[in-house]
Amino acid sequence: MIESGIIEKLAYCFKLDCEDVKKHKSGYDDTIRPKVKIRYLSHLVTTIEDLVNEKRVREFLKSAKEAENGLSRYFRVKAARLYSITLAPQQFKRKATTRHHKFGAIIFFNKDFDENQKRILIAHELGHIVNKELFCAADSENTANLFAFFAINDKNDFYLDESKKYTFAGRELHIISEIATVCPILPDK
């Protein structure tokens, strides 16, 4: 939730009209935030998807190598997803940059920044992608900064307020008890 007066401060800081700030806030709140909220354990899910996908592609390519069919060439040339974003920490003089390609984008960011600064850099670069791919809005450094604000503020609110709802006060024993309640443990067969 954004406190009173913040819209005007954002407009002033990023040299944008209040209406542009409100439009971007509305776009974030209506389009992106609902999708973020339903992505429970998304880091774990994505990691498992990637690992399974890599394994299956390797197996497919190994079995298709003898045939050298068109599908084998497809997997060698194209990404498994229609659009993917890759984060690539680098040691370079720039803060961050995004390189777009046919099947997505790669966000290169300076790995020497502290963790919060890295999150801001990545959110800023995501703002460029969102402007181009989702909002079809004029892209500028200022609108990317505005997106970074909404993204980081939303995550900050989540960590400060919302995340308490998703933790187990009793730690391990409480988690075990809840799992047993929700997904009853069956006897061995």
The Cα-based distances of 84 to 81, 111, 129 in angstroms read 6, 21, 11
Domain regions of the chain by residue span: 1-38+81-163, 41-78
Residue 3 or 74, more confident: 3
Q: Answer yes or no: are the C-beta atoms of 54 and 185 closer than 8 Å.
A: no
- Decide yes or no: CATH 1.20.1260 for domain 1-38+81-163: no
Instruction: Provide the pLDDT confidence category of residue 175 given band limits of 50, 70 and 90.
Output: confident
The Cα-based distances of 25 to 22, 55, 108 in angstroms read 5, 40, 26
Q: Is the pLDDT of residue 145 over 90?
A: yes
DSSP 97: E
Instruction: Give the range among 65-74, 105-114, 141-150 with minimum mean pLDDT.
Output: 65-74
The Cα-based distances of 135 to 23, 59, 125, 132, 139 in angstroms read 10, 38, 14, 7, 10
* Per-residue model confidence as pLDDT tens digits over 94-128: 999 999 887 788 989 999 999 899 989 998 998 99
Residue 155 or 142, more confident: 142
Q: Is the pLDDT of residue 141 over 70?
A: yes
Average pLDDT over residues 81-91: 81
Residue 4 or 95, more confident: 95
Instruction: Provide the pLDDT confidence category of residue 79 given band limits of 50, 70 and 90.
Output: very low
- Percent of the chain residues past pLDDT 90, beyond the cut: 24
CA dist 24 and 30 (Å) reads 10
CA dist 101 and 63 (Å) reads 29
Q: Answer yes or no: are the C-beta atoms of 78 and 103 closer than 8 Å.
A: yes
CA angle 170, 174, 175 (to 5 degrees): 120
Q: In this predicted structure, what is the pLDDT of residue 42?
A: 65
Q: In this predicted structure, what is the pLDDT of residue 97?
A: 95
DSSP H helices, the chain, are: 6-13, 18-27, 33-37, 42-64, 70-77, 115-133, 141-160, 171-182
Q: Answer yes or no: are the C-beta atoms of 104 and 83 closer than 8 Å.
A: yes
Q: Is the pLDDT of residue 74 over 60?
A: no
CA dist 179 and 168 (Å) reads 11
CA dist 118 and 124 (Å) reads 10
